Structure formats: structure tokens, C-alpha cells
Amino acid sequence: MTKLLELAKCKKGVFITGTGTDIGKTYVTALLAKYYREQGIDVAYYKAAISGADTIPESDAGYVKKIAGLEQSDESMVSYLFSEAVSPHLAAKINNRPIELDKIVGDYQVVRDSHQFTVVEGSGGIVCPIRYDESKKILLPDIVNALGLSVIIVADAGLGTIHNVVTTAAYIKTLGIEIEGVLLNNYTGDLMQKDNYYMIEELTGLKVIGTVAPNGENIIF
């Protein structure tokens, strides 16, 4: 049994974060949801806030739904949708639509209670402001804690990933959030990437629980 399948057997959800933007987090999240569905798991997707899309079908949520073949209503997948391609806290300010943690928790619980397992995707890297104004300050880890989830880190397998994974993992650990492991995207298995794989495990104490080849259609274990 893979670590990912074991996770779905004993928990109700997991939070997917990345070492930054544009490292393929949504792509890998879609393959993760697809894997669970193919294993017979009733899997769902949820993301608190999406910016840079006018509709859910053309957003990250729509992409995951299509690739994973999820049978889930669009409205249940996202709590806040903004057209501006900026950080959620700024998009919320532009639209004068403050993001509320209570709504996120409530929306997630509806999805969680309706499915066997929920893959929750974060926005960008773990240090992402979701709301930041005089009234409230909400960062991504606040959502992780409010939902009671552990984390999987998605990282690109290429040059620089050792630093990115080690610093991301170290920050998450300071918050007392459990990390399930690392998924490496764009993994070719060349000499450098094999060393990256090894050094990530050595320096973080975490396991690389899967890899995705460039343009891969499945997670490799």
C-alpha cells in the first residue's frame, strides 16, 4: 500500500502546498485526485480561494475536475473566486470582498462530510496571505490548522529544489503542522535529480512519496 493510499484510509483529507508558484502544484494535485479515484476512493477537491479566473471551469478547480474525472459540483470546489491574477488577499481587497475563515471551514466541512477523502489545494507557497487588513490577518497556515489537516509538499525536481524544500519544510514544522511527505514534479531521474531526491530526504527527514515525470499522466511510486 502506498503512503498516499494509506493516508486516504486513515484520514479525511490532506492539504497540498508548494515550494512556490509555477512549480506544477495544481498539475500534481490533479494527478493525485486521479490516483485516488482510480483506487476506488470517493475523492473530492477543495480550494479556499482562487484568483486569476473568471469562472470555476477555467480555474485550477476546473482543471483538477477535468483531469481527475471528479463528479462534484463546481460551487462546492471553491469558496472565493477572483478574476485578478494576484495573491488572494489583494484580489479580495480589489473586490472589497473580505475572505472569512468561518466560511472556508464551513464550506470544507460540507465537502469533507460528503466524500471519503478531500484533496485541499493551497495558493502558491505556504507563506501566502489570504486576508490581510486592519480587521483580520489570515495566512495559509491558519487555514491548514483550522481544517485540521496535514500537508504534502509539491516541488519541482530541478536545480534549486533542495533549498526550496528544506526551507518550506522547516517553516511548516515551526508551526507544528504535520508533513506527510514530498512529491517531486518534472522528475527525470538524471544524476542531479537523483541527488536532489536523496538530499531532500537527508536534510528534512521526510520521504519523497512520489514523483511525476515531465508531462506525466500518473504519479510514480
Exactly one of 3, 9, 34, 47 is catalytic; name it.
47
- Find the domain containing 84 and state its range: 3-211
Structural domain includes residue 216: no
Which segments within the chain are labelled E, that is strand?
Answer: 13-18, 43-51, 78-82, 117-125, 129-132, 137-139, 151-156, 179-185, 208-211
Per-residue pLDDT tens digits of the chain, which is 221 residues long: 899 999 999 999 999 999 999 999 999 999 999 999 999 999 999 999 999 999 999 999 999 999 999 999 999 999 999 999 999 999 999 999 999 999 999 999 999 999 999 999 999 999 999 999 999 999 999 999 999 999 999 999 999 999 999 999 999 999 999 999 999 999 999 999 999 999 999 999 999 999 999 999 999 99
| Cα–Cα distance for residue pair 128/197, rounded to 1 Å | 26
CATH code at position 62: 3.40.50.300
Q: How many domains does the chain divide into?
A: 1
Which segments within 72-178 are labelled E, that is strand?
Answer: 78-82, 117-125, 129-132, 137-139, 151-156
Q: What type of residue sits at position 203?
A: L
In the block, which residue shows the cell 494509506?
6
Structural domain includes residue 218: no
In the block, which residue shows the cell 486576508?
131
**Four-point Cα dihedral 97, 51, 88, 94, nearest 10:** -40
In the numeric block, which cell numbers belong to residue 34? 486521479
| Cα–Cα distance for residue pair 56/134, rounded to 1 Å | 29
Structural domain includes residue 219: no
Structural domain includes residue 55: yes
> Would you state the pLDDT for residue 1?
82
Catalytic, 9? Answer: no
* Closest listed residue to residue 59, CA positions, set 46, 43, 44: 46
β-bridge partners, 16: 121, 152
| Cα–Cα distance for residue pair 96/101, rounded to 1 Å | 16
Structural domain includes residue 217: no
Structural domain includes residue 9: yes
Structural domain includes residue 103: yes
> Would you state the pLDDT for residue 40?
97
Structural domain includes residue 52: yes
